[in-house]
Amino acid sequence: MARILFRNGSVFDGTGAPPAPADVVVEGGRIVDVAVGLDGDEDVDLGGRTLLPGLFDCHVHFTMSGELDLVKLMMRPFSLRYFEAVVNMEATLRTGITSVREAGGSDLGVKTAVSSRLARGPRMQISIVMLSQTGGHGDDTMPSGGCPFWQAPFPGNPKWSVDGPDEMRKQVRELVREGADVIKVATSGGVLSPRDDPRHGHFRDDELSVLVAEATAAGIYVMAHAQATEGIKAAIRNGIRSIEHGVYLDDEAISMMLERGTWLVPTLSAPRAVLAASEAGTRIEESVLQKAYDVLEVHIASFRRAVEAGVKVAMGTDSGVGPHGRNLDELALMVDNSAMSPLEAWVATTSAAAALCGVDDRLGSISPGKLADLTVIEGDPHDLDKLGERVWGVWKEGARVV
């Protein structure tokens, strides 16, 4: 089997150690050696660039494409989303992201299209649909009573609405049957939903404890869209593994996260994407726009305090709310607005993200035995400016894909 030698570059191994000159040898899709002065059968001359582990985005929506105008969304044919997903997955791969958590929208068919190489994209853990209480973040019922067609269940995509522990048990079991790798739940309101409030906690403990018990029994974990302080605390208290967004964190929530080892996936890009779309002329409902403005500053302050306290952070963008392929802009936001250093932002995008997803035994760092998912960037990795334009090459299991 050919030994592929990556030489003449620096290696950021994902652990947080500063990048250092080293060669990497890949054989049979795996990393077999990392050291100075190695040899191989085929050469990849890195020309002084930096080799990183294949990057992660822990919060994407491939079947959403940044269209926030509800009327335009209603005028799109239903299945168009799957063709857009092909383009969105390609854009994500091209920016160096080889693994994602799909936070709602992609089902087993989308995942299978990639794993069977029918479509190109990152490997993914899918949640399929986000479970939500009636009137919660998953509920797009409009004040008129109108309800978008995408809210209806269809094969492979169970219903999203859940009220009460009994329904919760059944819905988690349905999602497991349909191939969910992770269960996503909304324990608070959110920005894009028309009728709820991001400061309100959703679901009660009797519902969330059943949810976590059923997911755990199926050997999978739970991620919570959680913006409200109460929703964040309920998620942590009931053993949910990651808090998505985490907008209204208080001291107690932060200490609970530290105690339980709960992850934070901040998605600082998400409210910015809503505001950017509005500035670009997209018609967005006034109440939604107001919510995006309301969360902006408090979100940053919460994130900074969580980082300073030592909460575990994994990178996620909520791409799909905004366009795909700009995922790496999130790293600059994490550094601009917090105590995070550039290397810590890279750790959040590599080994920490792999640990959150439970795949750190095979992905997220450059060391012998790991799968050869690799991303090469131009320039100084401490400089996070315009990272998306500096991706030089991407390998997935030892095969060059970009």
Active site residues: 184, 318
Residue 57 is a binding residue for Zn ion (CB under 5 A):
no
Measured from the CB of residue 243, what is the shortest distance to Zn ion in angstroms? 12
Candidate residues 103, 223, 277, 377; the one interacting with Zn ion per rule CB under 5 A: 103
Measured from the CB of residue 88, what is the shortest distance to Zn ion in angstroms? 14
Measured from the CB of residue 103, what is the shortest distance to Zn ion in angstroms? 4
Residue 318 is a binding residue for Zn ion (CB under 5 A):
yes
265, 243 in Cβ contact below 8 A?
A: yes
- How many whole angstroms separate alpha carbon 367 and alpha carbon 318? 29
Tokens standing for residue 201: 């906690």
308, 254 in Cβ contact below 8 A?
A: no
Which of 46-54, 97-105, 146-154, 341-349 is the region at the interface with Zn ion (rule: CB under 5 A)?
97-105
Which of 163-171, 277-285, 312-320, 380-388 is the region at the interface with Zn ion (rule: CB under 5 A)?
312-320
Looking at beta carbons only, is 49 or 101 nearer to Zn ion? 101
Measured from the CB of residue 317, what is the shortest distance to Zn ion in angstroms? 9
Tokens standing for residue 88: 């969105």
Measured from the CB of residue 264, what is the shortest distance to Zn ion in angstroms? 14
Looking at beta carbons only, is 318 or 330 nearer to Zn ion? 318
How many of the chain's residues bind Zn ion (CB under 5 A)?
Answer: 2
Which of 89-97, 101-109, 147-155, 211-219 is the region at the interface with Zn ion (rule: CB under 5 A)?
101-109
Tokens standing for residue 392: 């030089």
104, 129 in Cβ contact below 8 A?
A: yes
Looking at beta carbons only, is 31 or 226 nearer to Zn ion? 226
Residue 354, burial from CB neighbour count under 10 angstroms (0-12, 13-18, 19+): buried
Show Cβ contacts of residue 389 under 8 Å, excluding neighbours closer than 6 positions: none
Which of 1-9, 100-108, 227-235, 281-289 is the region at the interface with Zn ion (rule: CB under 5 A)?
100-108
What residue has token string 């390609």? 90
How crowded is residue 231: how many other Cβ atoms within 10 Å of its Cβ? 33
- How many whole angstroms separate alpha carbon 253 and alpha carbon 160? 27
Tell me if residue 209 falls in helix, strand or coil: helix
Looking at beta carbons only, is 187 or 375 nearer to Zn ion? 187
Chain contacts with Zn ion (rule: CB under 5 A): 103, 318
